[in-house]
Amino acid sequence: MQSAIQTTPVPQWKIWAGRITSALPVLLLLFSGAMKLVKSASVIQGLAHFGYPESFALGIGILELACTVIYVIPRTSVLGEILLTGYVGGASATNVRVGDSFVIPVILAVLAWAGLFLRDDRLRTLIPLRD
């Protein structure tokens, strides 16, 4: 079955700019998820600060890693970004609830969306920016 949307080849510089822009949030999320899986002292302290029990670390870590992996796979990257946006939205809401800054999670989401927008022609077709 052919797609109804006609796509043009994506310039190599856009693909690489998107990959580089996506790399920072991906690396931070992978590191954060791994730290939750090993239940580092800083993660347990952070969960307590936010009012979550220590037992949530494993589930949150698995969720974070799963969303990130789905984002990294080119075929499922749009779904992954939607899931990451929900995850980061929850992190932002948690930060606001305890009176912390929510800027870092928002910047992470913006970088992830910008990276995906640059490297994925399907997304640029779906959400075209006009001059």
- pLDDT tens string 67-121: 999 999 999 999 999 999 999 999 999 999 999 999 999 999 999 999 999 988 8
- Tell whether 3 is covered by a domain: no
Residue 52 belongs to some domain of the structure: yes
In a domain, 131, yes or no: no
Q: Residue 68: inside a domain, yes or no?
A: yes
Buried b (16+ CB within 10 A) or exposed e, 96-108: eeeeeebeebeeb
Number of domains in the chain: 1
Q: Which domain holds residue 61?
A: 12-126
pLDDT in tens, 18-60: 999 999 999 999 999 999 999 999 999 999 999 999 999 999 9
Asked whether residue 2 is domain-assigned, the answer is no
Length of the chain: 131
Q: What pTM value is reported for the model?
A: 0.85
